[in-house]
Structure 1
Amino acid sequence: MAMSVETTCARVESARIAVAATQRNLMEHDLIVPDVKPDMGRILHVDACPRITHVETSAGMVTAGGIIEYNVIYRGEKPEDGKVTRFTSTPAFTFSYENPEILPDLLCSVACETEHLEADLKNGRKLSISLIVSANIRLSRSTALEIPVDVTGLEEIQTLTGSLTGNSCFAVLQNKADIQGQVPVPNGKPAARDLLYHRARIKNCQCDETVEGVVMNGVLDLVVFYVSDDEDSSFQVFESEISFSATAGDPARIEKALWFVSSVQLEQVSCSIGEDSDGDTRMIQVEASAFFEVEGYAQRTLVYLEDAYSLSSPIQVKKEQAPLEMLHHTGHFQISGRDLLSPGKDMPEISEVLHAWCIPMITSSEITDGRLSLEGYFEVVTV
């Protein structure tokens, strides 16, 4: 008489990274000075910030697009136009990344940053830009693994089981954060007449699990350059912060889950001059949006069937490899360095530094002998 053999399986939900890559894209744009602005005489600063607005995934390809926010600060060509002024331009861009492992149903995130910029002043009305944009592309999928843990239905059957303990990813959530606020011009600085430039970045991102779901908290760090509203029309700069929070989603509750922000990308930042309660132009109105992705990890002990034996009937256990990613370590580190920077040959001597910032760029990583080694460089901008 044939006996019924039953296999007991454990279902494991897992979010797995399917594709992770970095692609450098060369972009070239010609920026034209608006008719209401004076001719360019000397370029003081050019900044380019790529903003991703849409991402499409198809079989074997990811197509992403958005705009490049250019800010050009310059002095006019004629003596009467020699004051510091600026103009902005937002040309569109698209690029594609091809990989045969890409499937249409994968969850995709793309983050871009400026890696290198060269500006060539063609004439007083035209500035040619060559730009290298580094795109970090990541695609993930949620999978359910049916892992055998026991076999029943045969006499005198013996099973051999193994176990694996680790923090596995059980959820990947994506959402957008809308950031609004106003920052005052610091006491001791004059009121603002014209905004020249602003630099923004997201920092100090953390995740908390609340009754409403998973909430991301962060800080929008903002540096504002402006022309003072007085007789001197001086060049002013200050730095401020706006705290914000946004709900990532409401996944299934798992005890002692660990959530962290895996990527965040500013999509749009706009600033305008506003008045304070006294009617002075000492308030900067800020509106921004950011796309973010968070991952949830939880410690699990997975028991699985390694082999089975029976004296009454032959048993053959077929084994297959199943991908299961585990979170090994999270942490923060600091790097300190010192170097001497000198202006280019066509730049005047430095009399005053108004502001400087540093952008770390990672070019390679390697794990050897239990140590993570990173290589890269710092991009330093000084005003």
Structure 2
Amino acid sequence: MELEKRKIYMNRQKARIVTQVTIDEDRNVPDVKPDMERIILQKGEVEPEEVRCSEEKGTVRGKLKYDVLYAAEGGGVQSLSGNLPLNEPVRLEGVDDKDSLTLDWTVEDLDIEMIHSRKVRIRAVLTFTITADGLVQEGLVTAASANEPLETREENYQITRIAVQKRETYRVSEELEISGNKPNLGELIWREVELRGADCRPLDGALAVRGELAVFAMYQGDGEHMPVQWEEFSVPFSGQMDLPDSTEEMIPDIDVRLIHSDMEPKEDADGELRMLDTEAILEMQIRLYETENVTAICDIYSPAKEAVLTEKEAAFEKILVRNSSRAKLSERVKLPEGERILQICHGSSQVMVDRIGVTEEGLEIEGALHVTVLYASADDTAPLRSVDAALPFQHLMEARNIDASCTYRLKSMAENLNVLMLGADEAEVRAGIVLEAIVLTREDMTILGDAELVPYDEEKIRKMPGIVGYRVQPGDTLWKIAKKFYTTVEGIRETNEGIGEEVKPGERLILIKQTDEITA
């Protein structure tokens, strides 16, 4: 007997490792930079370079990029930037180099303090989450053939399979023009690029990408005694990238992260430095799922020979829910006593998810939006200052019928950050948090693995009568009856006129044995 099988590919999470890296380093202020008087603002970003696995051992390589905005002795504002290398070994039990590794990272804590005017101490706690997914293959028998007559019973399976899984990068480049009422660019002191509201949608043979970059630049105006200037930009972007195996009907699960950004002054058409050449690189972990109904053979027998079946246990994934929701936040931020706001310069944010609980209703998500506000102060000796705030949030993402056996992936991103002055010593922070989750449930089932035909026990067959009168029992089907009495469903229908698709308990049937001895 020959069996034709349909291969179904699925993702199966093999390992999930969370590891923390502690950094404690000192860095000197370069000789070309003035002495430090006071730190105004600080930020740290992880730029991953490689995640490698070999023989259950993994390595995370990259760097922590840090930036410090400080008030210089004698007046003025300057910045200090640098990179700290990362080379962290991790243990990945049961993982090999064929598995797909996904890296997620969070700067849990960053503290940059002055040791003295020419040296800073950088302390940080970084959390890395490495998920290893293995590609699992199951085969469903869709056709069977043999020299002998065969009877097959089919069943419909709803299968969710992984159709596309890959990692890609998308580049956003934009030339931004300084407002006409501001002076030309001198020295670029501080730059920030944040990704907000990224969205990806599969098309036929392509992937549609859109989103927004929030860009902030602080610079020294060109000319003597020019004050520090700053400018904010909202940069929407949209485009497509080739993805040959994609179709519009596929279900997306795409994680988008900003992994690198750069900004450089550039001359405009008149030869003046009034442009900012901005570039951002987005990394996309792409998973596209496809749900389809597969008709497969679940049982086989032959009236000519004995069918020996081998069954096996298999697990298939199904998408339980794919949900997107938003949490709105609003909170007042009080300045330290004695400080006064003249102007809000800029606000930046980072979503930190602290806990995810699985309940009967769905996913209970707790965390905070960490916001940093840069403002112009009324203190002439310290005109630029910053304040940090944490806006806690709790949100229930509906996912009914979820349980501990389900796997899920959660993505979070801030949007519509807005900082408003309420008074000389108070500001209001408003923002939204976009939460997206895909939940997959596992369905265990018994499927047909293999089958072969062997000769019947002739003695057993001879002892069975050729014609049998049979009363249908509860739970009987035409298939079960035909298989038990060595006949066929079609043969039962021909012998018993008026039989419907289903038989009822108590019905009487005439059954004629159809073995090779009878046909001979």
- Per the normalisation by structure 2, the TM-score is 0.64
Matched, 1:357 2:351: no
Change in Cα spacing, 1:135 to 1:30, as seen in structure 2 (3 Å) is: same
- In structure 2, the partner of 1:338 is 330
Give the Cα–Cα distance (whole angstroms) in 1 for the partners of residues 357 and 296 of structure 2: 32
1:225–1:236 contact (8 Å) kept in structure 2: yes
Give runs of aligned pairs for residues 135-174 of structure 1, distance below 5 A.
135-149=128-142, 153=146, 161-174=154-167
Give the Cα–Cα distance (whole angstroms) in 1 for the partners of residues 302 and 131 of structure 2: 46
1:202–1:220 contact (8 Å) kept in structure 2: yes
- In structure 1, the partner of 2:411 is none
- In structure 2, the partner of 1:129 is 122
1:207–1:216 contact (8 Å) kept in structure 2: yes
Instruction: Report the Cα offset of residue 22 of structure 1.
Output: 3.8
Give the Cα–Cα distance (whole angstroms) in 2 for the partners of residues 318 and 154 of structure 1: 23
1:202–1:218 contact (8 Å) kept in structure 2: yes
Deviation per residue, 1:332-359 (Å, 9 max, x gap): 21111233333457x9444432111222
- Per the normalisation by structure 1, the TM-score is 0.85
Change in Cα spacing, 1:254 to 1:46, as seen in structure 2 (3 Å) is: closer
Instruction: Report the Cα offset of residue 162 of structure 1.
Output: 3.7
Change in Cα spacing, 1:36 to 1:15, as seen in structure 2 (3 Å) is: same
Change in Cα spacing, 1:255 to 1:198, as seen in structure 2 (3 Å) is: closer
Give the Cα–Cα distance (whole angstroms) in 2 for the partners of residues 274 and 314 of structure 1: 78
Q: Which range is displaced more, 39-48 or 50-59? A: 50-59
- In structure 1, the partner of 2:20 is 24
Gaps of 5+ in 2: 375-520
Q: Which range is displaced more, 27-36 or 198-207? A: 198-207
Matched, 1:64 2:60: yes
2:227 to 233, 237, 255: 233
Give the Cα–Cα distance (whole angstroms) in 2 for the partners of residues 343 and 302 of structure 1: 62
- In structure 2, the partner of 1:41 is 37
Letter of the 2:140 counterpart: I
Instruction: Report the Cα offset of residue 132 of structure 1.
Output: 1.6
1:105 to 80, 89, 98: 98
Q: Secondary structure at the match of 1:320?
A: strand
Give the Cα–Cα distance (whole angstroms) in 2 for the partners of residues 296 and 69 of structure 1: 32
Change in Cα spacing, 1:369 to 1:53, as seen in structure 2 (3 Å) is: same
Instruction: Report the Cα offset of residue 47 of structure 1.
Output: 0.7
- In structure 1, the partner of 2:112 is 119
- In structure 1, the partner of 2:290 is 298
Instruction: Report the Cα offset of residue 156 of structure 1.
Output: 8.7
Matched, 1:320 2:313: yes
- In structure 1, the partner of 2:89 is 96
- In structure 1, the partner of 2:8 is 12
Q: Aligned pair count?
A: 371
- In structure 2, the partner of 1:52 is 48
- In structure 2, the partner of 1:207 is 201
Change in Cα spacing, 1:286 to 1:255, as seen in structure 2 (3 Å) is: closer
Which protein, 1 or 2, shows the higher relative CO under an 8 Å CA cutoff with sep ≥ 6? 1
Change in Cα spacing, 1:61 to 1:232, as seen in structure 2 (3 Å) is: same
Instruction: Report the Cα offset of residue 52 of structure 1.
Output: 0.6
Letter of the 1:241 counterpart: V
Give the Cα–Cα distance (whole angstroms) in 1 for the partners of residues 219 and 366 of structure 2: 36
- In structure 2, the partner of 1:264 is 256
- In structure 1, the partner of 2:501 is none
> What is the aligned-residue RMSD (CA, Å)?
2.9
Give the Cα–Cα distance (whole angstroms) in 2 for the partners of residues 235 and 184 of structure 1: 14
Give the Cα–Cα distance (whole angstroms) in 2 for the partners of residues 292 and 248 of structure 1: 13
Instruction: Report the Cα offset of residue 38 of structure 1.
Output: 1.1
Give the Cα–Cα distance (whole angstroms) in 1 for the partners of residues 343 and 214 of structure 2: 23
Give the Cα–Cα distance (whole angstroms) in 2 for the partners of residues 192 and 288 of structure 1: 21
Q: Which range is displaced more, 242-251 or 109-118? A: 242-251
Q: Secondary structure at the match of 1:277?
A: coil
- In structure 2, the partner of 1:369 is 360
Give the Cα–Cα distance (whole angstroms) in 1 for the partners of residues 186 and 61 of structure 2: 34
Change in Cα spacing, 1:112 to 1:344, as seen in structure 2 (3 Å) is: farther
Deviation per residue, 1:218-237 (Å, 9 max, x gap): 44332222233354413423
Gaps of 5+ in 1: none
Letter of the 2:127 counterpart: S
Q: Secondary structure at the match of 2:311?
A: coil
Change in Cα spacing, 1:300 to 1:154, as seen in structure 2 (3 Å) is: same
